[in-house]
Amino acid sequence: MQDAITTLINTSDMQGKYLDDSSLDNLQNYFRSGDLRARAAMSVSANASKIVTKTVAKALLYTDITAPGGNMYTCRRYAACIRDMDYFLRYATYAMLAGDPSILNERVLNGLKETYNSLGVPVGATVRAVQSMKEVASEMLGAEAGQEMGVYFDHICSGLS
Ligand SMILES: CCC1=C(C)/C(=C/C2=NC(=C\c3[nH]c(/C=C4\NC(=O)[C@H](C)[C@H]4CC)c(C)c3CCC(=O)O)/C(CCC(=O)O)=C2C)NC1=O
């Protein structure tokens, strides 16, 4: 896993240079938003199950997916879906704190699409659910923190698409 700082340092080190102006700008933005990121992470962890429950209500309940024949039908599969949504939320929060998506690539997205396809988990519906979670999180955390989180929800969606 990487974070905004190690990514910038590694890039400079590869070129054998000090951080250039644009890297320093990036670094300053990262530090400036540090307090916001920490507060967003606290508020996600205090509201995680609420965020997931609201998202499921908004995006998945009373659709074909939860009805007989749908991929979330049966308690086992329903619970697997909720658990996956919780993984997405938790790892998006880690990535948001790190200011870098690599933890999502390594621990969540790696092989996920293939796993979903082989189990018949609908990828399109999952992407729509993650987009709903982005909206729910933004409503609960406020626009600024929601925007920081939104970057990583979008990253999950493009990794699945
Ligand atoms: C930490 C990283 C990590 C991730 C991301 C992860 C995902 C993951 N989700 C799975 C299953 C699943 N995922 C879903 C999810 C859904 N079905 C739907 O219709 C909805 C759209 C969607 C929820 C949004 C379901 C229903 C299953 C069970 C499928 C089955 O066994 O038939 C499986 C197969 C094994 C299992 O059932 O546990 C994995 C590996 N596992 C991990 O360790």
Tell me the per-residue pLDDT of 70-93, one tens digit each, with 9 for 90 and over: 999 999 999 999 999 999 999 999
According to the model, what pLDDT value does residue 22 have? 95
CA separation, residue 6 to residues 14, 19, 35, 101, 154 (Å): 12, 12, 19, 13, 22
* Distance from Cα 84 to the centre of ligand 1, integer Å: 6
Give 108's contacts (C-beta < 8 A, 6+ positions apart).
87, 88, 91, 156, 159
Answer yes or no: is the C-beta of 44 below 6 A from any ligand 1 atom. no
pLDDT for res 33: 95
Q: Which pTM was predicted?
A: 0.96
Other residues' Cβ atoms within 10 Å of the Cβ of residue 137: 27
Contacts of 147 (CB under 8 A, 6+ apart): 138
85 lines ligand 1 (CB under 6 A): yes
Residue in 63, 64, 81 to alter for ligand 1 test, most ligand atoms within 8 A of Cβ: 81
Phi, psi of 145 (to 5 degrees): -65, -35
- Which protein residue's CA is at the shortest distance from atom 26 of ligand 1? 77
User: 11-67: per-residue pLDDT in tens?
Assistant: 999 999 999 999 999 999 999 999 999 999 999 999 999 999 999 999 999 999 999
